[in-house]
């Protein structure tokens, strides 16, 4: 039973990420009701989401480091409380600044407390099937927009946005607390290492020493370039499809196609990474992502947008969980939170460049073609940088104290 408990962690992690990220990313369905009820500008309300992205990235690093010291469970529980508090305060806010600070600041900080600690906890339980386990946890993020967002829309229609947000907060509390209690550290994960990086962290006497190693620099750079490459196309493709003649609702459905294909991508890439090696699958996925992004300049019909959304959704959805697996191949379990938190922060910075960069390119050149060309070039850079990953340590060849294979 002890050896199989890792799959309980996977199930709990998937539920937690689905509920937590879904609660925060549901803001678009609140937008019009909030504007109508309060008179706040759409830009002001949307700013809460921008604040949330920035805070989430920075807070993720702090939460990850804290989870290395006190464990994933306390961090998840504190983040859950912060999320619920942010939603409750935002639901009662009568001032726009209070709403931005509550929804963007508190909820954003809470969202940063789930990914790195949960991934670190999950990885500690697995030697075999590690890629699949991490991919299954990340499925919660992909499922969230399909579950929480429509549910929030239904509540808004029936009870109004304030009551709906309050109910989402209460529901999140009811689901997150029991799921968080299921999270526990893997047996015997003390100071387990991975090759040179683990030695570097041990000799440095601090988890932050891991952030100075070549392995982390390559990991963070690839993660940054990967997210910088796909964030612009994801954000602007609906607008581009409408320019090409697609109806607004049909254009918006491209996101749904990408989301569904991303779920399959996580599963397929996770299985392939366990069989063929994480590095090989990651490089192939990054190359596929770059090709898919570049192909947008030749797409004009809605069916073509759908077909490309399937390919691109599988590519970027499939590679995202693999960074956590690579990190565990190079670093000990005792610094996983710090490493993943810092890597996630760089990815959030990369995500921030895409939308504003794409908007600037369109305003400057009057076309989205340069966005896709530039993003594809960044994607190729990510794949090329990934070639610099050194060979991973052999399983079972490191120091004692790693979790037993599952």
Query: Where exactly are the structural domains of the chain?
Result: 6-181, 195-386
Choose among 218, 226, 227, 213: nearest CA to 381: 226
Locus of tokens 């509550």: 102
The answer to whether domain 195-386 has CATH 1.20.1250.20 is yes
Give the pLDDT confidence score for residue 194 in this predicted structure: 44
pLDDT at residue 94 is higher than 50: yes
Distance, in Å, from the CA atom of 237 to the CA atom of 302, rounded to the nearest integer, reads 11
Provide mean pLDDT across the span 78-101.
95
Choose among 126, 100, 117, 111: nearest CA to 46: 100
Provide mean pLDDT across the span 13-40.
88
Higher pLDDT, 369 or 234: 369
Distance, in Å, from the CA atom of 329 to the CA atom of 352, rounded to the nearest integer, reads 28
pLDDT at residue 312 is higher than 70: yes
At 237-279, the pLDDT tens digits run: 878 888 999 887 787 778 778 878 888 898 899 889 988 999 9
The packing angle between helices 27-38 and 6-25, to 10°, is 30
At 147-199, the pLDDT tens digits run: 887 888 889 989 999 999 999 999 999 999 999 999 988 876 444 444 444 44
Locus of tokens 């400057």: 364
Q: Which of 57-61, 301-305, 344-348 is most confident?
A: 301-305
Is-contact 67 117, C-beta < 8 A? Answer: yes
Percent of the chain with pLDDT over 70: 90
Is-contact 280 405, C-beta < 8 A? Answer: no
pLDDT grade, residue 292 (50/70/90)? very high
Give the pLDDT confidence score for residue 206 in this predicted structure: 61
pLDDT at residue 111 is higher than 60: yes
Q: Are 6-181 and 195-386 in the same CATH fold?
A: yes
The CATH number fitting domain 6-181, selected from 1.10.357.10, 1.20.1250.20, 1.10.1750.10, 1.10.3720.10:
1.20.1250.20
pLDDT at residue 325 is higher than 50: yes
Q: The whole model's pTM is what?
A: 0.74
The three-class DSSP label of residue 218 is helix
Higher pLDDT, 353 or 220: 220
Q: Show the DSSP H helices in 71-194 as ranges.
A: 72-92, 96-99, 107-111, 115-124, 130-159, 161-181
Sign of the torsion formed by the C-alpha atoms of 232, 109, 122 and 167: negative
Average pLDDT over the chain, rounded to an integer: 85
| Both tokens assigned to 389 | 């990953």
């Amino acid at each position: 039973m002890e050896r199989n408990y890792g799959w309980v962690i996977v199930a709990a992690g998937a539920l937690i990420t689905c509920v937590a990220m879904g609660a925060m990313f549901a803001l678009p369905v609140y937008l019009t009701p909030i504007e109508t009820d309060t008179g706040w500008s759409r830009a002001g309300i949307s700013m809460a989401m921008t604040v949330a992205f920035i805070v989430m990235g920075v807070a993720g690093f702090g939460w990850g480091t804290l989870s290395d010291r006190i464990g994933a469970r306390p961090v998840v529980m504190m983040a859950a409380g912060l999320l619920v508090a942010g939603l409750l305060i935002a639901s009662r806010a009568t001032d726009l600044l209070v709403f931005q600070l509550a929804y963007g600041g508190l909820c954003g900080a809470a969202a940063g407390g789930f990914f790195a600690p949960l991934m670190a906890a999950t990885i500690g339980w697995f030697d075999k099937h590690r890629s699949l386990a991490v991919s299954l946890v990340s499925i919660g993020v992909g499922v969230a927009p399909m579950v929480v967002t429509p549910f929030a829309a239904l509540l808004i229609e029936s009870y109004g946005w304030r009551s709906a947000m309050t109910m989402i907060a209460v529901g999140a509390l009811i689901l997150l607390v029991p799921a968080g209690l299921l999270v526990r550290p893997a047996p015997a994960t003390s100071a387990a290492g991975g090759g040179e990086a683990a030695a570097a962290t041990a000799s440095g006497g601090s988890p932050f020493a891991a952030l100075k190693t070549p392995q982390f620099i390559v990991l963070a750079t690839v993660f940054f370039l990967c997210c910088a490459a796909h964030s612009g196309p994801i954000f602007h493709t609906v607008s581009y499809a409408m320019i090409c003649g697609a109806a607004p609702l049909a254009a918006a459905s491209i996101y749904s196609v990408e989301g569904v294909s991303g779920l399959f991508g996580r599963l397929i890439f996770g299985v392939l990474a366990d069989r063929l090696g994480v590095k090989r699958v990651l490089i192939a996925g990054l190359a596929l992502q770059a090709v898919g992004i570049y192909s947008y300049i030749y797409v004009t019909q809605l069916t073509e947008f759908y077909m490309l959304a399937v390919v691109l959704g599988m590519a970027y959805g499939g590679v995202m969980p693999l960074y956590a697996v690579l990190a565990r191949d190079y670093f000990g379990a005792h610094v996983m939170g710090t490493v993943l938190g810092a890597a996630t922060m760089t990815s959030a910075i990369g995500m921030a460049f895409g939308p504003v960069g794409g908007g600037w390119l369109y305003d400057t050149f009057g076309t989205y073609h340069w966005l896709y060309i530039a993003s594809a070039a960044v994607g190729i850079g990510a794949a090329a940088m990934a070639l610099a990953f050194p060979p991973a340590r052999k399983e079972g060849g490191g120091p004692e104290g790693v979790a037993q294979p599952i």
